């Protein structure tokens, strides 16, 4: 498998930074570079104290530097942002969490390339990249080349070309590159993962995932999220932010790991309406948001067919006025679990399930579960009691205290440090972050070709077949 060539690949549309649309060929063919090694299941040499540098101290960065400076056995050595005041504020917060441990923390600010100086001077063990999307891949690559493991906010990359570069550099440098998909650590996502591993839903066949979150208000941001993300909505048309919904269901189904992998994708977008309407309503006629031609459809829908013929629907909509949802639906031969609101339906007879779970789900005659109705609300207590993931149970109190999307962010950040210290593989490997992220550019290519089915490159070069599933972390 080492010698597998990259497939000739489609042309993929990219839109980076200030809204420049470019067509780039992602068709480079190469074998795994000599001396490089497959990174699935990779265990890095243990580090006792993890020396961390953080790039990006905006809205999202604040959560990470708070957590990383509070977790034991870390030292925050470097903080970097374009804005001096944001980096200084981060330093204050880090020192507030532990002034002694982080006493040598150094601030780098004011220049778009100053992070490179930080990497060279400080030689951190681990770098967190928490910057706009177009900077994720170049910063991740620079961090690994400088000898650091890297954790990158979602999505890990925005083009297929970038994806291959990240894979090549991680395999060459033997440095972890993990995408920070926090939703995989949500209580319900961990619950369903545990139930999937225990076979409760039977053989898994289909999943539905989404990121439906009205974020139009971010267009009012001065120089934070909306100031750069709005150009993506304007200049790209596809499923641009797929990983919050997709990451968890991909791990339920063991995609990239032994059982299956990503096969093909077909994608459609609705007409683009909401952003232009919002701009018209909320900004002056000559405002920059009223000068954009919004090309990205409000709602994007993709269908992924896995290598083994299973299906996943992925939706993305940050524009329409409707309630938040990630769908989080998993369906198997013995039942289904779904999110928003959380509910479960199972097909079992008496004695086949833990008593309390069966009682909560039983039909009128008490001999079989009622799979025509969802078990939800109060009745789910028995399900949580029986199947809550041990990682959630262990971390619950700290997660509630430290917060970050209800605690999922803290569990994720804690696990990164724990795995590096204990010499464990990271919970999300390089290829998972990459395969989940390339839904963005592949969906753009499909939409541009009237929904044509597009093949996923196999970034594992066939090695998914021998990569073990994520174990149940205790
Ligand atoms: N996982 C989640 O739940 C979640 C939530 C929000 C945001 N995010 C992701 O986090 C990332 C950051 O989003 P955000 O909302 O914090 O955006 P933001 O604009 O608030 O912050 C980005 C920061 O990066 C800094 N920056 C830009 N270029 C830089 C450079 N060259 N060197 C150093 N710093 C630079 C900016 O000054 C800014 O402070 C995005 O990828 C976003 O998708 C994830």
88: left (phi over 0), alpha (psi -120 to 50) or beta: alpha
Cα–Cα nearest to 397, from 414, 378, 380? 414
**CA–CA distance, 263 with 457 (Å, rounded to integer):** 8
- What percent of the chain has a predicted confidence (pLDDT) above 70? 94
**pLDDT per residue as tens digits for the range 270-284:** 999 999 999 999 999
**What spacing in Å lies between the alpha carbon of 62 and ligand 1's midpoint?**
10
User: Does residue 238 register a pLDDT over 90?
Assistant: yes
pLDDT at 3 over 90: no
Q: How many domains does the chain have?
A: 1
Q: Which atom of ligand 1 is nearest to the CA of 61?
A: 16
Question: Given this model, what pLDDT does residue 169 score?
Answer: 98
Q: Is the dihedral of CA 196, 266, 219, 113 positive or negative?
A: positive
Pocket of ligand 1 (CB under 6 A): 55-61, 80-83, 86, 112, 115, 130-133, 135, 153-154, 182, 224-225, 405
Lowest mean pLDDT among 16-20, 112-116, 153-157, 168-172: 16-20
Does residue 5 carry a pLDDT above 60? no
Predicted confidence (pLDDT) per residue in 395-415, tens digit? 999 999 999 999 999 999 999
Residue 244 confidence (pLDDT) above 70? yes
Nearest CA to ligand 1 atom 6: 60
Q: Is residue 109 part of a domain?
A: no
Going by pLDDT thresholds of 50, 70 and 90, the confidence category of residue 188 is very high
Phi/psi for 462 (5° steps) reads 90, -10
pLDDT single digits (tens) 292-302: 999 999 999 99
Digit-coded pLDDT (tens) for 72-95: 999 999 999 999 999 999 999 999
pLDDT band at 181 (very low <50, low <70, confident <90, very high): very high
Cα of 392 to ligand 1 centre, how many Å? 27
Model confidence at 259, pLDDT cuts 50, 70, 90, reads confident
What tokens does 114 get? 């100053």
Beta bridge partners of 346: 335
Query: CA–CA separation, 253 vs 264, rounded Å?
Result: 16
Q: What is the distance in A from the centroid of ligand 1 to the CA of 39? A: 26
What's the gap in Å between 153 CA and the centre of ligand 1? Answer: 8
Summarised one tens digit per residue, pLDDT across range 381-400 is 999 999 999 999 999 999 99
pLDDT at 456: 98
25 pLDDT tier (thresholds 50, 70, 90): very low
- Looking at residue 22, its pLDDT comes to 31
pLDDT of residue 377: 97
Confidence at 33, pLDDT banded by 50, 70, 90: confident
Return the pLDDT at 30.
63
Q: Is residue 362 part of a domain?
A: yes
Q: What is the pLDDT of residues 342-379, one digit of tens each?
A: 999 999 999 999 999 999 999 999 999 999 999 999 99
CA of 129 to the centre of ligand 1 (A): 8
Atom of ligand 1 nearest to the CA of 80: 33
Q: Which residue has the higher pLDDT, 29 or 155?
A: 155
Q: Give the residue numbers spanning the domain of 342.
A: 184-393+431-466
Mean of the per-residue pLDDT values for the chain? Answer: 94
14 pLDDT exceeds 70? no
The torsion angles phi and psi of 463, rounded to 5 degrees, stand at -75, -10
* Angle between the N-to-C axes of helices 61-70 and 390-402, in degrees from 0 to 180, rounded to the nearest 10: 110
d(CA 227, CA 220): 8
**Adjacent-strand bridge partners of 14:** 22
CA of 145 to the centre of ligand 1 (A): 22
Structural domain contains residue 442: yes
Of 106, 51, 50, nearest to 81 (Cα)?
A: 106
Ramachandran bin of 110, using left for φ above 0, alpha for ψ from -120 to 50, beta for the remaining angles: left
**Nearest CA, atom 27, ligand 1:** 131
User: At 260, which CATH number?
Assistant: 3.30.360.10
Average pLDDT over residues 219-226: 96
- Tell me the two tokens of residue 57: 């101290």
DSSP-H helix ranges across 258-407: 274-282, 355-361, 381-387, 390-402
> What's the mean pLDDT in 248-270?
97
pLDDT at position 447, please? 98
Give the closest residue (by CA) to ligand 1 atom 43.
154
Is the residue at 249 inside a domain? yes
Summarize pLDDT for 415-432 with one digit per residue, the tens. Answer: 999 999 999 999 999 999
Please compute the mean of the pLDDT values over residues 201-208 and round it to a whole number.
98
Q: Is the pLDDT of residue 10 over 70?
A: no
CA nearest to 253, candidates 334, 301, 199, 196: 196
């Amino acid at each position: 498998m080492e010698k597998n060539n990259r497939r000739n690949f489609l042309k993929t549309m990219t839109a980076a930074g200030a809204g420049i649309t470019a067509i780039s060929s992602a068709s480079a063919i190469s074998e795994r570079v000599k001396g490089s090694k497959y990174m699935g299941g990779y265990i890095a040499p243990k580090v006792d104290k993890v020396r961390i540098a953080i790039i990006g101290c905006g809205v999202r960065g604040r959560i990470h530097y708070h957590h990383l400076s509070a977790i034991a056995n870390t030292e925050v050595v470097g903080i970097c942002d374009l804005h001096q005041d944001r980096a200084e504020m981060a330093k204050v917060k880090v020192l507030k969490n532990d002034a002694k441990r982080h006493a040598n923390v150094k601030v780098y600010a004011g220049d778009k390339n100053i992070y490179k100086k930080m990497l060279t001077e400080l030689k951190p063990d681990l770098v967190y990249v928490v910057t706009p999307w177009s900077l994720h891949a170049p910063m991740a690559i620079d961090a690994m080349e400088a000898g650091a493991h890297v954790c990158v906010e979602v999505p890990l990359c925005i083009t297929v070309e970038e994806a291959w570069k990240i894979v090549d550099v991680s395999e060459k440098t033997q440095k972890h590159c993990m995408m920070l998909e926090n939703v995989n650590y949500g209580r319900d996502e961990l619950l369903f993962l545990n139930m999937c591993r225990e076979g409760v839903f039977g053989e898994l066949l289909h999943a539905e995932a989404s990121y439906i979150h009205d974020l139009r208000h971010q267009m009012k941001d001065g120089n934070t999220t909306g100031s750069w993300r709005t150009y993506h909505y304007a200049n790209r048309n596809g499923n641009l932010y797929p990983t919050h919904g997709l990451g968890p269901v991909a791990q339920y189904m063991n995609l990239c790991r032994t059982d299956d992998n990503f096969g093909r994708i077909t994608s459609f977008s609705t007409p683009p309406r909401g952003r232009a309407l919002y701009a018209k309503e909320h900004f002056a006629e000559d405002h920059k948001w009223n000068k954009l031609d919004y090309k990205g459809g409000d709602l994007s829908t993709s269908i992924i067919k896995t290598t083994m013929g299973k299906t996943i629907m992925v939706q993305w909509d940050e524009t329409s006025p409707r309630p938040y949802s990630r769908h989080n639906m998993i369906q198997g031969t013995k039942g289904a679990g779904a999110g928003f609101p959380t509910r479960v339906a199972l097909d079992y007879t008496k004695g086949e399930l833990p008593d309390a779970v069966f009682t909560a789900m039983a039909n009128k005659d008490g001999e079989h579960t009622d799979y025509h109705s969802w078990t939800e609300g109060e009745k789910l207590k028995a399900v949580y009691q029986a199947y809550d993931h041990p990682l959630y149970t262990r971390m619950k109190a700290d997660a509630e205290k430290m917060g970050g999307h209800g605690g999922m962010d803290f569990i994720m950040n804690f696990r990164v440090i724990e795995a590096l210290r204990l010499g464990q593989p990271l919970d999300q490997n390089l290829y998972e972050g990459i395969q989940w992220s390339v839904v963005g550019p592949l969906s753009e290519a499909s939409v541009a070709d009237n929904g044509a089915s597009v093949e996923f490159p196999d970034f594992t070069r066939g090695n998914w077949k021998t990569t073990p599933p994520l174990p149940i972390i205790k």
